Amino acid sequence: MTNPERVYADPSINMETEAYWEATKQNKLLLKKCDDCGETHWYPRAICPHCSSSNTCWYEGSGKGKIYSFSVMRRVEIPYVMAYVTLDEGVSLLTISWSAISTTCPSIKMLKLSSVPHKAIRPCPCFALLHKGPL
Amino acid sequence: MSRSCKAYIAGVFEHPTRKAVDKTIAQLHAEVAIGALKDAGLTKDDVDGYFCDGATPGLGGMSMAEYMGLDITYTDSTETGGSSYLVHVGHAMTAIAAGKCKVALITLAGRPRSEGVKSLAAKDYGDDLPERGFEIPYAPVITNMYGMAAKRHMHEFGTTSEQLAWIKVAASHHAQYNENAVLRDVVTVDDVVNSPMISDPLHRLDCCVISDGGGALVVVSPEIAKTLGDRCVKLLGQGEGIKHLNSGRIDLTYTGAVKSGPVAFAEAGLTPADMDYVSIYDSFTITVLETLEDLGFCAKGEGGKFVADGNLISGTGKLPFNTDGGGLCNNHPGNRGGMTKVIEAVRQLRGEAHAKVQVPDCTLALAHGTGGSIAQRTGAATVIMGRNDA
């Protein structure tokens, strides 16, 4: 499946998420972790949802993970594959994959930030197959 | 404080319209309120508590209280999507038990069909939504989010499209007797799995209808219930909760019913095996399957086998559900199906369901509502009720 000219909505960047969106311009996926409890959380917040500490910090994620689940939205002009990807860091994020369509849910290693959609106001992390695992 | 048997549902009303091109939302609220109060044998002047969802016109309940000419000393506009009305029932139980009000009116109205809503698109909650940037750019809509829940359930437990289809088949068997239902044709498992794929693995017939309309409930104190007679239904237990994405440690195979169910059963002192009838929120077939597991009607992962072969069909199966046809066939007013779940359970306990689907000697019933998206953040509420003599 190619990456069609889909329009991505404005993510409405705010002071909590500015660094994340700056990093996507360099094709980097930033995650947030808590310096006090050590846990990574998703989506990134100023306050740790695990221990309520405000000592949260950014770090660059591996960008690798597995598909947790996906669904091909067909009743639209440009069908797209909505997916939850569980990153190697242990958190799952909502994204779009352009290559999940013929696979089952798990055991697919994904590349990070495979595409920077042309019609996104800011680059949004999207994922594609790194290699096909056993189906 | 147990609230069991300290409040009763005295009146219910489901608006017969399914496309209200000639009515305003405020008007629909007033019409269902009048209908439920008439059903209870009360008037608007008896109402001292008013409950509505966050989509009701105006700020909380203020505009509608004014529009309907209510004199209110207690109000609650808790918003948990389609489960709001079952939350409201619980909050009315609490308020009545605490002496804060005696006659609580709960209303719902919406007209997405007249307004041209073609799908259950995610509502835009504005720039301040904290998860916004991490979800909205990818265009999550209700159907593909529930599709992902279904896909994961299939992956973990081997659930099949055919098993999910049985839920729609059962709903359609009931809807054929409901003259107000949007879809009255009985369908087969083949019809469901051969209907167009909307968002894998959900077909068109796995999805609920889009309809206008609304409904209302009147919850009263035991003293008032005594003056109104045997049609009052006793409120035995209620629970509610919110389930979300848990900071990224997600699990789409269960719903908020794991929180609301045990609380409701404990308050009622009952178990799933005691229920004669259940109304289960059915935005999609997968919603019903996961909820039945979460409420304990079968083990986690066994939902597919449980719903198959007509087990939810009244008169045939062991657990008759949604005998009005539910959201899958009858009505999903304002894209919010919790209200009608309570209404059909009350009809069953009164012996006023359609004769073809009435559960014989229906004594104990459960209604469950699901709000938001079970694959993102979702509200849940469970109400357990009994016949007046239960």
Residue A5 confidence (pLDDT) above 70: no
pLDDT above 90 (res B26): yes
pLDDT of residue A122: 73
Interface contact A17-B133, CB threshold 8 A: yes
Which CATH topology does A18-129 take? Answer: OB fold (Dihydrolipoamide Acetyltransferase, E2P) (2.40.50)
Distance CA B6, CA B385 (A): 12
Asked whether the predicted pLDDT for residue A90 surpasses 80, the reply is: yes
Contacts of B336 (CB under 8 A, 6+ apart): B53, B55, B81, B82, B84, B85, B108, B110, B371
What does the pLDDT look like over B113-133, one tens digit per residue? 999 876 555 667 788 999 999
B250 and A68 within 8 Å at the Cβ level: the answer is yes
Please indicate, yes or no, if residue B120 is contained in any of the structural domains: no
A7: closest chain B residue by CA:
B137
User: Which of the pair, B225 or A29, is modelled with greater confidence?
Assistant: B225
| Residue B201 sits in the same domain as residue B75 | no
Do both B180 and B53 map to the same domain? no
**B18 pLDDT above the threshold of 60:** yes
For residue A107, name the pLDDT band (cuts at 50, 70, 90).
very low
Contact B130 A16 (CB under 8 A): yes
Specify whether B173 is located in the same domain as B241.
yes
* Cβ–Cβ below 8 Å for B247 and A13: no
Please give the structure tokens belonging to residue A53: 């500490």
pLDDT grade for B42, boundaries at 50, 70 and 90? very high
pLDDT tops 50 at residue B110: yes
What pLDDT sits at residue A98?
A: 65
Average pLDDT, chain B: 96
Does B138 contact A92 at a Cβ distance shorter than 8 Å? no
Structural domains of chain B, count = 2
Q: Is the peptide bond before A43 cis (omega within 30 degrees of 0)?
A: yes
Q: What is the pLDDT of residues B51-70, one digit of tens each?
A: 999 999 999 999 999 999 99
pLDDT per residue as tens digits for the range B280-315: 999 999 999 999 999 999 999 999 999 999 999 999
CA A46 to chain CA mean position, Å:
19
* Confidence check: pLDDT of A116 > 70: no
pLDDT band at A106 (very low <50, low <70, confident <90, very high): very low
Do B175 and B300 lie in a common domain?
Answer: yes
B242 and B231: one domain? no
Specify the range with the lowest mean pLDDT, choosing from A4-8, B157-161, B291-295.
Answer: A4-8
pLDDT recorded at residue A81? 85
Band (pLDDT 50/70/90 cuts) for residue A27 is confident
Q: What is the pLDDT of residue B122?
A: 61
B121 domain-assigned: no
Of A80-89, B23-32, B149-158, B175-184, the one with minimum mean pLDDT is: A80-89
Whether the predicted pLDDT of A117 surpasses 80 = no
- Structure token digits, residue B345: 């359970």
Would you place residue A101 in the very low, low, confident or very high pLDDT band (cuts 50, 70, 90)? low
In B, which residues are within 8 Å of A133 by CB distance?
A: none
Domain of residue B225, residue span: 8-115+212-236
What pLDDT sits at residue A67?
Answer: 86
| pLDDT above 90 coverage of chain B, percent | 93
Lookup result for tokens 């068109």: B204
Interface test with A, best of B200, B203, B284 (most A CBs within 10 A): B200
Can you give the pTM of this predicted structure? 0.95
Q: Which two tokens stand for residue A97?
A: 């994959």
What pLDDT shows up at residue A135? 31
pLDDT band at A1 (very low <50, low <70, confident <90, very high): very low
Chain B residues closer than 8 Å to A90 by CB: 248-249
Rounded Cα gap, residues B110 and B123, in angstroms? 14
Give yes or no for residue B220 having a pLDDT over 90: yes
Q: What's the gap in Å between the CA of B377 and the closest CA on chain A?
A: 13
| Alpha helix ranges (H) inside chain B | 25-40, 62-68, 84-97, 132-135, 142-157, 161-175, 189-193, 222-228, 257-268, 285-294, 303-307, 326-329, 338-350
Same domain (yes/no): B183, B216 = no
Q: Which residues of B touch A79 (CB under 8 A)?
A: none
Q: Min CA distance, B337 vs chain A (Å)?
A: 23
pLDDT value at B377 more than 60:
yes
Is B203 near chain A, with CB under 8 Å?
no
Q: Determine the residue type at B299.
A: A
Say yes or no: B380 contacts chain A, CB-CB below 8 A.
no
Indicate if the pLDDT at residue B263 is higher than 60. Answer: yes
Q: Which of A6-10, A11-15, B300-304 has the highest mean pLDDT?
A: B300-304
Interface touch A71/B136, C-beta < 8 Å: no
Residue B145 sits at the chain A interface (C-beta within 8 Å): yes
CA angle B137, B141, B146 (to 5 degrees): 130
Q: Which of B136, B155, B199, B204 to mutate to test the interface with A (most CBs of A within 10 A)?
A: B199
Q: What CATH number is given to the structural domain containing B255?
A: 3.40.47.10
Q: Are residues B327 and B382 in the same domain?
A: yes
- Whether B128 maps to a domain, the answer reads no
Task: List the single residue in A with minimal CA-CA distance to B129.
Answer: A12
The mean per-residue pLDDT over the stretch B326-334 comes to 97
Q: Kindly state whether residue B266 falls inside one of the protein's structural domains.
A: yes
pLDDT at A103 over 60: no
Q: Are residues B22 and B162 in the same domain?
A: no
Of B236, B271, B286, the one marking the end of a domain is B236
Residue B249 near chain A (CB below 8 Å): yes
Instruction: List CB contacts (< 8 A) between B286 and chain A.
Output: none
pLDDT of residue A80: 82
Work out the mean pLDDT of chain A and round it to a whole number: 79
Query: Which of the residues B129, B132, B136, B138 would you substitute to probe the A interface, choosing the one with the greatest number of A C-beta atoms within 10 Å?
Result: B138
Do B196 and B288 lie in one domain? The reply is yes
Tell me whether residues B148 and A70 touch, CB distance under 8 A.
Answer: yes
Nearest one of A103, A100, A66 to A81, comparing CA atoms: A100
B230-243 pLDDT tens trace: 999 999 999 999 99
Q: In chain A, where are the structural domains located?
A: 18-129
**Minimum mean pLDDT range among A126-135, B159-168, B300-309, B343-352:** A126-135
Q: Which of A20-29, B195-204, B287-296, B325-334 has the lowest mean pLDDT?
A: A20-29
> What's at B24, amino acid-wise?
T
Determine the average pLDDT of the residues in B40-48. 98
Please report which confidence band the pLDDT of residue A63 belongs to, taking 50, 70 and 90 as the band edges.
confident
Q: How many helices (H) does chain A have, and how many strands (E)?
A: 1, 8
